[in-house]
Amino acid sequence: MHKFNPDRIQIGISACLLGEQVRFDGGHKNSAYCQQELKPHFDFVPVCPEMAIGLGAPRKSIRQVRIEGEIRVRSADGSIDVTEQLQSFCNNKADGLGFLGGYLFCSKSPTCGMERVPVYKADGSGGFKEGVGVFAAALMKRFPHLPVEEEGRLHDLVIRENFFTRVYAYHDWHCMRLKGLTRKALTDFHARYKYLLLSHSPAIYRTLGPLLAGDGELEAVADSYFDGFMTALRHKASRRNHTSALQHIQGYFKKFLSGSQKAELSDAILAYRQGVQPLLVPITLIRHYLREHPNDYIAAQVYLNPHPDSLRLRYAY
C-alpha cells in the first residue's frame, strides 16, 4: 500500500516506459531517459490499465471509437469492448494515487494518452487526434493540479523544466500540509516562492498576496492559494520574467558588492536576457555572492534551487 513519502517523490508512469512488456504486441516502449536520468531521483509507480483489467499481452489492440456521440473503447473489429470495465478500473485506481508527485504517460494510448489520442468512427475511418486516454482523463479529473506529462514531450527542454519544477513544488506543498496548516506556514511558503512565481506569472503572483492577507477560513484560503499557485507554474517561465526576477534579487546585493562585482552580475543577467548564456550562469553567480554575503530571505528562495542541479534542467533557457 503506497502512501505519501515526504523524503522521496513518487511518480506514476505508464509501465511500458519502464520496459515492461505490456503492450498489445507483447513489447514495450522503454524510455532510456526515465531509466537512466530520472530513476536516481524518483520512485516510479508503474501502471498499465489494459493489463490490470486482464487483457494480457500480446492481445488485440484496442482503440477509442465514437459511436452515436459516445466514446467506446474496443478492438478494431468490435469483438472486444472494455469501456465499462476500463472506466471502473481507471476511476478506482485514480482515487488511490493521491500520494503521487507527478505522472508520466505514454502518448497516443487509448488509456494513457494525455492528449491527441486517435478517435475513430464506427466504420473504422478517422483516427482524429482529439481524444484523451481513459486513465489519463480519470487521473487528471481526480487530481487537477497533479503535474502530468507525456514522456515523449520531455524531449522539449522547456516542457521538461516546467514539468519538474511543478513536480517539486507540488511535493513541497504537500510536505507543508503534512506538517500542519497554519497561516504562518502558508505565508512562509508563499514568501519562499516569490521569485519562482514571478518568473512564471507575475499577474497571478500579484493576486496571491492579497488572498493570504484576507481573513477567510484557513482551509478555503489554502485551497484557493494552491489553485492559483499551480496555475501560475503551468505558465512556462519566459526569458523576460526570469530577467526581472534576477534583477530583483540583484538589488539585495547592491550594498555589498564592489563595482566590478556589480558589473559582472549585470553582464551575466544581460547575456542571459540576450540569449547568449543559459540561466544557470547568473544563478550560479548569485549563489556565489550569497555565500559571501548571506541573506536569509534570498537563501530561502526556491527560485535559486527549484530542482536538483543533477537533473540539468536550467539549460533550457
The answer to whether the CB of 306 falls within 8 A of the CB of 237 is no
Grid coordinates representing 96? Answer: 488511490
- Residue 295's pLDDT is 95
- Residue 273's pLDDT is 96
Helices (H), 11-142: 32, 49-52, 83-95, 134-142
- Residue 10's pLDDT is 98
Distances (CA, A) of 168 to 124, 158, 274: 42, 16, 28
Mean pLDDT score of the chain: 95
- Residue 1's pLDDT is 67
Omega before residue 58 within 30° of 0, cis: yes
Residues 141-169 have a mean pLDDT of: 97
Segment 222-280, tens digit of pLDDT: 999 999 999 999 999 999 999 999 999 999 998 999 999 999 999 999 999 999 999 99
The answer to whether the CB of 16 falls within 8 A of the CB of 106 is yes
Distances (CA, A) of 141 to 8, 28, 219: 24, 27, 21
- Residue 57's pLDDT is 93
- What is the percent of the chain with per-residue pLDDT over 90, rounded to a whole number? 94
Residues 61-67 have a mean pLDDT of: 95
**What is the residue extent of each domain of the chain?**
10-155, 168-234, 239-311
The 3-state secondary structure of 277-310, one letter per residue: CCCHHHHHHHHHHHHHCCCHHHHCCHHHCCCCHH
How far is Cα 149 from Cα 184, in angstroms, rounded to an integer? 33
Task: Say yes or no to pLDDT of 317 above 80.
Answer: no
**What phi, psi does 85 have (nearest 5°)?**
-65, -45
**What phi, psi does 67 have (nearest 5°)?**
-125, 115
String of DSSP letters for 209-244 = HHHHHS---HHHHHHHHHHHHHHHHHSPPPHHHHHH
In the structure, what pLDDT confidence band is assigned to residue 164 with cuts at 50, 70 and 90?
A: very high
How far is Cα 285 from Cα 42, in angstroms, rounded to an integer? 29
- Residue 214's pLDDT is 87
Q: Please name the helix (run of DSSP H) or strand (run of DSSP E) that holds residue 127, with its range, or none.
A: strand 126-131
Q: Give all strands of the β-sheet with 117-121 in edge-to-edge order.
A: 70-75, 62-67, 117-121, 126-131
- Residue 215's pLDDT is 87
The answer to whether the CB of 74 falls within 8 A of the CB of 61 is no
Residues 44-48 have a mean pLDDT of: 97
Segment 124-154, tens digit of pLDDT: 898 899 999 999 999 999 999 999 999 999 9
- Per the DSSP assignment, residues forming a β-bridge with 81 are 74
- Residue 242's pLDDT is 97
